[in-house]
Amino acid sequence: MKIVYLGDLVGRSGRKIVAEKLPEIKERLRPDAIIVNGENAAAGFGITGKIADELFELGVDVISTGNHVWDQRDTKSYINTEPRMIRPINYPEGTPGKGSVIVEDQRGRKILVINAMGRVFMDPLDDPFKAVDMELKKHRLGTTVNFILVDIHAEATSEKMAMGQYLDGRASLVIGTHSHVPTADAQIFDGGTAYQTDAGMCGDYNSVIGMDKKEPISRFTKKLRGDRYTPALGDGTACGVYVESDDKTGLAKRIEPIRMGSRLIETFPQT
């Protein structure tokens, strides 16, 4: 299978660059599924149902989220009616929405997407390792599902790497999000799981992790809160990964980063 994953969409710049680049991504890579983290898509804080619908219309198959999932008022109701948008699986029982979803490609192959959130320097949620374990007990890679993707939304790089190594051989791709900076460690572990510590963001990189520079710099230098954070509105760059897996085992055969836009050095998988 061929899977494209794009990291955290931040504000208008992120939405715009994804809308611009998805047709080229689909034409050149012909992915069987596209998964996007959309938790910062609405002015940098959360995602609305309207924005989610627009992403699905563009060809996105699943939207994952993270710690900003509840920042927009309509998300709690929307996420209960749209199973293709998921929230971290380790939220307590009774939280709206679900932490995983299975979608099918045009050939009927099943893709399980799981969203988890780390706990180091983050909200003290339930154990993400146990939560993912429990979900994987319901499915078997290469048998009941053809591809398993785990989005680990976490602050600490060590926690993301630990999740990747913990799931080696049980997932096709473990991809980190939340840091908004693409890491240079795309690799395939010994057991066949593709991994990258952070996919990076889709947004304006002439910023402080997607936000207009003025307010973050002021908070760091003066230790005073002034205005609210607002997304940077310059030209965006789309970042993510491309993964190919073995149809028989579901394990990864190839992972390559994607960077498309005017700010970062571009890289795109050769076909």
CA atoms within 13 Å, Cβ hemisphere of 135: 25
Say if residues 202 and 9 touch (Cβ distance below 8 Å): yes
Helix-, strand-, coil-residue percentages of the chain, each rounded to 5: 25, 25, 50
Indicate the pairing of strand 2-6 with strand 173-177.
unpaired
Q: Which of 68, 153, 178, 180 is labelled catalytic?
A: 68
- Going by C-alpha positions, the residue among 210, 231, 206, 229 that lies closest to residue 218 is 229
Alpha-carbon span 22 to 60, nearest angstrom: 9
Active site residue 68: yes
Active-site residue numbers?
Answer: 68
